[in-house]
Amino acid sequence: MLGYDRIVEAGNEIKGKIHRTPLFHSTTFSNMFSCDLYFKMENFQKTGSFKSRGALAKFSRLTDEQKKHGVITASAGNHAQGVAFAASYYDVDAKIVMPETTPPAKVNAVQSYGGTVILRGTSYDEAHEYAIQISVEEHREFIEAYNDEDIIAGQGTIGLEIREDIDPDIVIVPIGGGGLISGISSALKLSGKGLKVIGVESEKANSMELSIKENRIVPYTSNDTIADGIAVKYPGNITFELVKKYVDDIVTVSDENIAYALFKLLEREKVLVEPSGAAGLATLFENKIDVKGKKVVIILSGGNVNFLLLSNIIYRALEMEDKLLRLEFNLPDHPG
């Protein structure tokens, strides 16, 4: 199982290649929730999310032979950009298989880092299957999104940075496949700190919560969520074991409160995050975690938001606060 020394090594491997993101203290939200609240600003990270950490840690361990043949992965979001960025840094040829339904902005972002995009299938699973096929045919190294100890160690460097800055009571982390929370919880718990690490999922994509409850890997019950960055059908076997060992609790939040948390971050702190990145703050709006009087760190995991979705979120939040009123009515459609 992943050790503390491996996370420290990952920190040394990626030092100078990524941003050491700030730990931002929020007076506004501290007062709102009667706690001492900090945000770890991974939305300011290179490529716009924490994924570049794990990708760089993985690439630093590739052999010359693996680099020669190139790499491949499947992703429709932040992992794709992280891999393309790391491949560019190490001058390795990278192919990224993305579903045909991927928004052009995400495709353009990957291409801007030098990755070759292949559009295949109508879902992530179909894209993943095709990427595995190419990895075998072309002898390319397949880069996992989360179920890989090097990737997890890279994400765990966030925990090291938090530990260097403050001594928190609670750290709240979004969960998708589990790579981020596995790395952070390992770094924090193995360093001997007496704190709680709490994971958060969308209530519509809660595969890790269900898996922990049943003590076996099971899929989510739905996938109809705005938090697409954490909508992962199955957790990995490695991340599942690490979460069982080091994570104190997992809670779920509604899409409505994820959207509201995103809006309040933008309104009050002028900070833009994607829905997945706002999931941690949404737990406080739902009163899912007792933070009163505690020193709390929330991971803002990414800032790559779809702007069409953002406009809808803003309108919906204004409705929730009675600052916008919509009138709907039926009107006969006939001449005159």
Catalytic residues: 51, 301
Note the residue count of the chain: 336
- Report the Cα–Cα distance between both ends of the chain, in Å, rounded: 74
What are the residues facing 78 on neighbouring strands? none
Single-letter code of the amino acid located at 242: L
Angle, in degrees to the nearest 10, between helices 179-190 and 237-246 = 40
- The pair phi, psi for residue 105, each rounded to 5°, is -60, -40
Give the pair of three-digit tokens for residue 76.
């429709």
Contact 129, 135 (CB under 8 A): no
The pairing of strands 196-202 and 94-98 is unpaired
- The pair phi, psi for residue 65, each rounded to 5°, is -65, -40
Contact 87, 114 (CB under 8 A): yes
What are the residues facing 96 on neighbouring strands? 73, 117
Q: What angle do CA 243, 197, 223 make, to 5 degrees?
A: 60
Quote the distance between the C-alpha of residue 320 and its chain's center: 26
Per DSSP (E only), the strands in the chain are 23-25, 36-41, 71-74, 94-98, 116-119, 141-142, 170-174, 196-202, 249-253, 295-300
Give the pair of three-digit tokens for residue 197.
């690490």
What are the residues facing 65 on neighbouring strands? none
Single-letter code of the amino acid located at 198: I
What are the residues facing 158 on neighbouring strands? none
In the block, residue with structure tokens 């996938």: 223
